[in-house]
Structure 1
Amino acid sequence: MKLFKYFIYTALGGSLLTGCSKELDLKPTDGFTDANAFRTIADAQLAANGAYGRYGTNANTIYSTALVSDETKIGADNAGQGALTFRYQYSADGTTGGDVTAAYTGYYQMIDQVNRTLDKLPTVIATPAEEPRRNILKGQLLALRALAHFDLLQLYSKAYSANEKGIPIMLTSNIYAQPKRNTMGEVMTQIEKDMADAFALLPAVTPSTFSDTVMNQVNINAYRAKIALFKGDYQNAVTYATNVISSNVKPLASAADFPGIWTDANTTETLFRIRYSTGTTMGALWTTTGNLVYIAPSDKLIATYGTGDIRKAAYIGTYSGTTKNYVNKYFNSSKGGRVVDMKAIRIAEVYLIRAEAYAKLAVPDVNAGTNDLNEVRSKRITGYTNATFNNAGDLITAVLAERFKELCFEGTRLFDLKRNNLPVSRNASDVGSAAWQTLPAGNYRFVFPIPQYELLANPNNVQNDGY
C-alpha cells in the first residue's frame, strides 16, 4: 500500500453534509494525533464527514470511464485534457495514466479514514443523548468502506469471476502495510458483509426521515442491488431493487421536475449524492465558466435521443450561435457555474438494474423487466407507447441502450459494457483516428492499471495484464 503520511480528520471543502454543521473547534496543540483527534462523538462525526467527502473520488471514476467509453469525444477547446485516456494510450505511470490511476489512491485514502474512525469510535465520549449516534456512524462508515472497495473492484479488476485477481482488502489502518491482492470472491464477500452489517446498524427509513447525503437502509439496498448485478446474483439484485422501489422514498421524477435534478433545484430521484456548496469538482471536468469545452458529449450519444425525450435538453447543451455541444448535467446551479452536486445513485438506475436482472434470471421474467423499462421511458419520453419484447435477449439489449441514455456521465457505461462482454464502439465522427474508434470486448484496457508508485511501494502487489 502506498505510504500516506498525512490524514486530515475533517469535512472536505465543499462537501459538508446534512446534520453535521458544527465547526471544527481548533485548540492549541503541539501535535495532531489519533489520541487528540478522537475524543468525542462530535470528533468522530467530523471524521465521518471527511470520509463522505473523500467519496468525491467517484468524480474521477465518472470522468475516466466516460473518456474510455463511447459517451464522450474530445471537445473543441481541448488542450490535451484527457486525450491520452480517450485514445487508449494510458499506462501505469503518472505521465500518461493520471486519469486512470488517481482513483486507486483516492479510494484507499477514503478506506484508511474510515478504518481509523472505526477503530476509535467504540471509545469516544458520548452523552446519553448522543449514544445512538455511535451505531449510526459505524453503520455509515461500514457502508462507505464497502463502496470504496466496490469501486476499486470495478475499476481495477475484470468482469466478476470469484477466482480472478481482485484488489487488496483493507480493514485496519496501517500505512506500512504491503498487502497482496485478494481474489474478487474474497473482496465481494467483504463488501457484502460490510453492507449487511451497516444495514443492521442503521434505523429504518421512511420518506419523511430519508436523507440523500448520508448512507441509510434505502440507499444501501440500492447499492446492494448494483453490487449483486455486478456479481451476477440476479435474484438478490431483484430483491434489493424491489425493496428500494417499494420504499417510495424517491419515486421517478415527473417531466416538470426532471430538469431540476441537474441544476440542484430539487433532489427528486437522488438516493445518494455528494454536495458541493462552492466546488466545481463535477462541472469543471467537462467545461469552463468561460464556455470552453474540454470534453464533449459524443455524437453517438446525442443521436440516441428521439423526439420528445426530455433527457436530451437536460443532459446536452449547445452554446448559442455555435455547434459546440457540452455536458449539461453538471453545468450550472443557483450556487454558480459548474457548481453542481454529484448524483452517485438514483432511483432510475435501480429500475434499470431490476429490469436487467429480471431478464438474466435462470428463468427470465421478461414481462416484469419490460414493465420496469417502460416505467422509466414513460417518464422521459412525451407520448411514449409501451414496448414489448419477445425474449430476454432483446430486453437486455434494450435495457443497456436505455442505461446509455439515462445514466450517461454517471460512471456506469464502461462497467455496463465490461459486465456484458461488449466492445466500446464509437462513431467515426467522434474520433480522429480509427486506432481508437473501437475497444474490443475483453481488451485489457477495460481494466485500469495499478499505479506504478503503488507497485514500487508494495512488492506484494501485482500489475494487471497488458501493462
Structure 2
Amino acid sequence: MKKNIFAALLVALFMSSCTGDFLDKSPSDQVTTKEAITTLSDVKNAVNGLYSLMASIYYYDLSMFLYGDIKGDCMQPTSWSGGRQGYSFYFFDHTASVPNNGGLWGRPYYIVRNAFNVIKAIDDGKVNATQAELANYRGEALAAIALCYFDLTRLYGYPYAKDNGASPGVPLLDHAIGYGETSTRSSVAECYEYIINKLKEAIPLLSNSRNDGHLNSYAARALLARTYLYCGMNKEAFGTADMLINDLKSTGLYYLVDNAHYADMYAWGNKFGAEALFQVSNTPTSNPGRDGLSFMLHWWGYAAVVLTDDFAQKLKSDPADVRNQLVATYQDGGDHQYYNLLLKYPGENGYNSPSFDNNYTVIRLSEVYLIAAEAGLKAGGELRQPALDYLNDIVRRANPDASVSDAEFTLDRVLDERAKELVGEGHRYFDLLRNGKKIVRRGGKHLPNAPEEIDWNYYKCVLPISRDEFTFNPDMEQNEGYTKE
C-alpha cells in the first residue's frame, strides 16, 4: 500500500474539517480507526461518517458533478467565474504541481480508508453485535469503497474501451493504509474487476428497503450496471439494469416519475424523491454553503456555470419536451447577453433565491433505463428491441408524442438522450469520453483559449497524479504526457 497516498489524504482531510454532521446523527468526518469501533452505535456513526465525507465540495457537493459536466459540451463557465473551480476544469488546467482536481484523489481515498476500518472491526469480531445486525453496515462500507474506486478509475485512468483497460488505473487497497506502505497503480481493467467484486459482495448484505442518504441494494445494483457499461460488459449491464427495473416495478419502492410531475422532481422540498436511488444529503445545519453546486449554478448565486448555447437550443428544438421547464434564460446586466440556466438545483423559494442545503443525486432511476438502452443496443440481437423500449420510456416521458424508431436507434441517439436527461448530474464528459467520441466546444459563448476539441487521445482527458505522491513513492507511474513535477 502507500505512504504517499496517506500523505495526500492528510491534506484532503484538513481541507474538509468543516463538513459537519450528517442528518443530525453526529458522525465524525475524521479518520475512523478500527480500535474506535466496538459497539453497534460506533459502526453506525462510522458508516454515517462515510456519507458525511461524500457530502463535501471536494467530492459530491461540487467537484464530481462539475468535472463531469463542465469538461463536456453541455455546460460551461461564465466569463466572470475565473478563480472558481469550474473554470480550471473547463480549461483542463491540470499539472502534477497544480492538479486542480478539487480533492478528487484524497477525498475518495479517505472514504476508502474509513470504510476498510469499519469492515476490519466487524470481521475481527471487535463489535458487540450479531452478524445479522452488522450485515447491512458492512454492505454499505463495501458499496462506498466501490463507488469511490469507480470515480477514481474514471478520473485518473483512460476509458476502458481505448485499450481494453490495459492503461494504468489507480492503486487498489485491501485494508486501511498506514504509514510506510507503498504500492503501484493497477490497470484500469483490474480496477473495474475490483469494483465489480466489491459490489457483488455488498449487494446480498444490503437492505432492500429505502434508506435515504445511504447506499442500499438497489443503488448498488444500479452502480454495478453502470460499471459493467463502462468496461464494455454490455450483456451484463443490460441484464443487471433490466432486472433492477423490473424488481422496482414490482415493489413500487422507486419509480419513473411521469411527465406531469417531472419538474417537481427537482423542487427544493422534494428530497429523496421517487427516482433517487442514492442522494448525498445536506441539511440546514450541515451543508456546503456558498461553495456548493447549487450556489455555483444559481443566477442569484455565483452564476458561475451555465448551459452552452448549442445544448440549450437542442433542448428547445422540441418545445413539448418537459425538460425545457428546467431551463431559464437570464440577461446579464454587464454584457447584456442572455444566458441559459439549469434549474435542477433551486432554492426554497423556487429559483428566486439560491439554497445551501440541496441534495445531490448520485444515482437516479432514469439513468438505469438509459444504461439498459445503451447496453442493449451495443449487445444487439434479442436485446435490441427491449433496449429501444427502455429508451422510449425516457423519450415519451419527456414528450408523450415523441418516440425513437428502430432506424433512429443509434449510439449517438442514446447519448443525445442521456445528455438531455442527465445534464447537470455529472455524466456528459464521461459518456463521450468512454465511447471514443470527440467533444467539440466552440462558438456560442464558449470562452477563448480553452481546448475546443477533446477526445481520449488528448493526454489531459485524465487527471495527473499529484507530485506529492512521487515525494514518497518516486516509482509511481505518472499519466502519459504529464511530468512528475
Match of 1:64 in 2: 67
Indicate the residue corresponding to 2:387 in structure 1.
Answer: 369
Q: Is the 8 A contact 2:63 2:102 kept in 1?
A: no
Would the aligned equivalents of 1:101 and 1:448 in 2 still touch at CA under 8 Å?
no
Deviation at 1:321, TM superposition (A): 8.3
In structure 1, what is the equivalent of residue 323 of structure 2? Answer: 311
* Count of paired positions: 443
- CA distance in 2: counterparts of 1:341 and 1:274, whole angstroms: 6
Deviation per CA, 1:204-257: give whole Å up to 9, x if none: x2xxx3234222221111111000000100111011101221122322102232
Partner Cα separation in structure 2 for residue 273 and residue 138 of structure 1: 19
C-alpha distance in structure 2 between counterparts of 1:33 and 1:50, whole Å: 9
Give the 5 Å matches for 1:61-460: 61-81=64-84, 82-94=86-98, 97-98=99-100, 100=101, 102-122=103-123, 123-127=125-129, 132-160=132-160, 161-176=164-179, 177-203=181-207, 205=208, 209-248=209-248, 249-266=253-270, 267-278=273-284, 279-280=287-288, 281-287=292-298, 290-305=300-315, 306-314=318-326, 316-319=327-330, 323-333=338-348, 337-361=355-379, 363=381, 365-381=383-399, 383-390=400-407, 394-433=409-448, 436-460=451-475
SS of the residue 1:317 aligns to: strand
Q: In the alignment, is the contact (CA less than 8 A) between 1:333 and 1:339 conserved in 2?
A: no
Please give the secondary structure, in 1, of the residue aligned with 2:118: helix
Q: 1:362 Cα deviation (Å)? A: 5.3
Q: In 2 relative to 1, CA 420–321 (structure 1 residues): closer, same or farther, beyond 3 Å?
A: closer
Question: Whole-Å Cα distance in 1 between the matches of residues 39 and 113 of structure 2?
Answer: 20
2:470 and 2:17 map into 1 onto residues whose CA distance is 30
Report the alpha carbon displacement of residue 24 of structure 1 after superposing the two structures with TM: 6.4
Q: Say if 1:269 and 1:35 are closer, same or farther in 2 by CA, change over 3 A.
A: closer
For the structure 1 residues 263 and 11, does the alpha-carbon distance in structure 2 shift closer, same or farther, using more than 3 Å as the test?
A: farther
Change (3 A) 1:456 1:71: farther
Counterpart Cα distance in 2 of 1:264 and 1:101: 26
Cα separation, partners in 2 of 1:364 and 1:165, compared to 1, 3 Å: farther
C-alpha distance in 2, partners of 1:265/1:415?
A: 29
Letter in 2 for 1:114: A
Contact 1:178 1:459 in 2 (8 A): no
Given that residues 250 and 268 in structure 1 are in contact (C-alpha distance below 8 angstroms), is that contact kept between their aligned partners in structure 2?
yes
Q: Distance in 2 between matches of 1:158 and 1:127?
A: 43
| Aligned-partner Cα distance in 1 for 2:359–2:32 | 32
Q: 1:178 corresponds to which letter in structure 2?
A: T
Name 1:49's counterpart in structure 2.
48
Q: From the superposition, tell whether residues 150 and 441 of structure 1 become closer, same or farther in structure 2 (CA, over 3 Å).
A: closer
Q: 1:214 to 1:373 in 2, by over 3 A?
A: same
* CA deviations over 1:289-325 (Å, ceiling 9, x no partner): x4431121111221121211121222x2334787343
Equivalent residue runs for 1:4-43 within 5 Å: 4-5=9-10, 13=19, 16-17=22-23, 22-23=25-26, 34=33, 37-43=36-42
Taking every aligned residue pair, what percent have the same amino acid on both sides? 23
Runs of 4+ in structure 1 off by over 6 angstroms are: none
Q: Which amino acid aligns with 1:348?
A: S
Do the aligned partners of 1:428 and 1:434 also contact (CA within 8 Å) in 2? no
Question: Which amino acid in 2 is paired with 1:346?
Answer: R
Give the residue type in structure 2 aligned to 1:83: Y
Please identify, of 260-269 and 418-427, the stretch whose mean Cα deviation from structure 2 is larger.
260-269
> What SS is found at the alignment partner of 1:448?
coil
Displacement of 1:147 after TM fit? 0.8
> 8 Å contact 1:270–1:345 — kept in the other structure?
yes
Q: Distance in 2 between matches of 1:318 and 1:337?
A: 19
The answer (yes or no) to whether the contact 2:158–2:456 under 8 Å persists in 1 is no
Instruction: Quickly say closer, same or farther: Cα 1:220–1:33, change in 2 above 3 A.
Output: closer
| Cα displacement string for residues 52-111 of structure 1 (whole angstroms, at most 9, x for unaligned residues) | 2222313312112322111222225324323233123322223xx32x262011111111
Q: Give the SS at the match of 2:264.
A: helix
Against the structure 1 CA distance between its residues 421 and 436, is the aligned structure 2 distance closer, same or farther, given a 3 Å change threshold?
same
Query: CA, structure 1 residues 180+63, in 2 after alignment: closer, same or farther (shift >3 Å)?
Result: same
What amino acid does structure 1 have at the position aligned with 2:309?
D
Quote the offset at 1:344 in angstroms. Answer: 0.3
* Alignment check: 8 A CA contact 1:421 1:442 kept: no
Q: Amino acid of the residue matched to residue 461 of structure 2? A: F
**1:126 is matched by which residue type in structure 2?**
N
Q: Does the Cα contact within 8 Å between 1:93 and 1:452 map onto a contact in 2?
A: yes
SS for the counterpart of 2:105 is: helix
Distance 2:217 2:311 in 1: 34
Q: Is the 8 A contact 1:257 1:268 kept in 2?
A: no
* Aligned residue identity for 1:201: L
Q: Which residue of 2 aligns with 1:29?
A: none
* Uncovered stretches (5+) of structure 1, i.e. residues with no partner: 26-31
Cα contact 1:330–1:339 (8 A) shared by 2: no
* CA RMSD, 1 decimal: 2.7
Task: Please state how far the C-alpha of 1:14 moved relative to its aligned partner.
Answer: 5.9
Cα deviation, residue 455, structure 1: 2.5
CA displacement 1:333-389 (0-9 Å, x = unmatched): 4796242101001111000000001111153633222211110011112x4232202
**Partners of 1:109 and 1:84 in 2: CA distance:** 24
